[in-house]
Amino acid sequence: MVRNMIVDEITLECGDTLKQVNIAFETSGTLNEEKTNAILVCHALTGDACAVGDENTPGWWEGLIGPGRYIDTNKYFVVTANVLGGCCGTTGPASVHPETGKPYGSDFPVVTIRDMVQLQYKLVKGLGIEKLFAIVGGSMGGMQVYEWAVMYPEMMHLVLPIATSARLSAVAIAYNDVGRQAILSDPEWNKGHYYPGKGPVNGLSIARMLGMITYRTSDLFEYRFGRRLKDEQNVTQFDCTFNIESYLRYQGQKLVSRFDANSYLYLLKAMDLHDIGRGRGGIKAALDKVQAKVLSVAISNDLLYPADHQEEVVEMLRAMGKEVEYHFVESIYGHDGFLVEFVKIGPLVKQFIEKHASLCSHSTAPR
């Protein structure tokens, strides 16, 4: 079940201060008496706090986390929070400004991955947890994992960045901007002040269609769709539709029903700005701060987060004498493999956290 915590204020990297910030979060499992068995899960671009979910609504990572699963909530207390700037409970552009009584819209300040982590830190402290056992996340969630390891190096024993990078690649920034322009060019965006209207649904839908192409692989699309048409009788008509087109349109419409376009824009910008070396003397200098043991997982054919980016970080950490484990997972799914390939990724995660289980107590005494 999603809960809420109010943070009085948070000062962002851009210098602005947000007041009365709500953070929506989900907890699963039991925090032991020593408060040493907590695992923080960080979500990706359009994710939310429901990583585990419940019987009625399965979570987006329920194949990885839950009772008896790879991250076992019978042993661990799992916390997932919706990111700052999101639209699933945590304060974001669609939230009401406490001073004006109106939605922020595009008056919402620019947020970074570091801002998201700062708010999560306040949540963790608010839950009475002095040190996390582990932090895990994929894609944009993995960006948060890296920032946690650099910003608060004493706050966790383990970090597990999956299908991610220490800095966003040029090609990912390029795709992000095409999606962004699709939203900004939609007249219904209205410079970000479209509430309580539906906003730029066409622009957001197109942005999602583009995103879905980058999340998967050409091999998967050939296997699932090939050149098959929805209606073979309609082949010479201008509006004849290939199955792949129908699939992408469906995915676009599906996102529009649950996500805010402004949040999409703000989170894309946060991803673009992601570089753990920014303002810290470079990536190597930033990584020197890391104290946690690291499990890095890259996925084959990941267009957005190439394996060599992860490998570069792994080699830097090893050269510094840090404890790091690296795995390359073959997948036809490409980037989205982190949300699908539980049989391949799950055992790696379980093995890593169980290897270091002595760092936390498995007492299940209630708080």
Is 139 known to be catalytic?
yes
Residue 336 annotated as lining a ligand binding site: yes
What b/e string do you get for 265-281 counting C-beta neighbours within 10 Å, with b at 16 or more?
bbbbbbbbbbbbeeeee
Backbone angles phi, psi at 88, to 5 degrees: -120, 40
How would DSSP label each residue in 185-198? Answer: TSGGGGGG--TTS-
Residue 208 annotated as lining a ligand binding site: yes
Q: CA torsion angle for 348, 353, 358, 364 (degrees, to 10)?
A: -130
Is 358 known to be catalytic?
no
CA–CA distance, 72 with 278 (Å, rounded to integer): 36
Is 107 known to be catalytic?
no
Q: How far is CA 46 from CA 171, 195, 212, in A?
A: 19, 20, 12
Rg (CA), the chain: 21
Backbone angles phi, psi at 6, to 5 degrees: -100, 125
Q: Which of 43, 274, 309, 335 is catalytic?
A: 335
Q: Which of 165, 302, 309, 327 is catalytic?
A: 302
What are 306's two structure tokens? 């190439």
Q: Which of 139, 205, 263, 296 is catalytic?
A: 139
Sequence ranges of the binding site? 208, 336
Q: Which amino acids are annotated catalytic? A: 139, 302, 335
Sequence ranges of the binding site for substrate? 208, 336
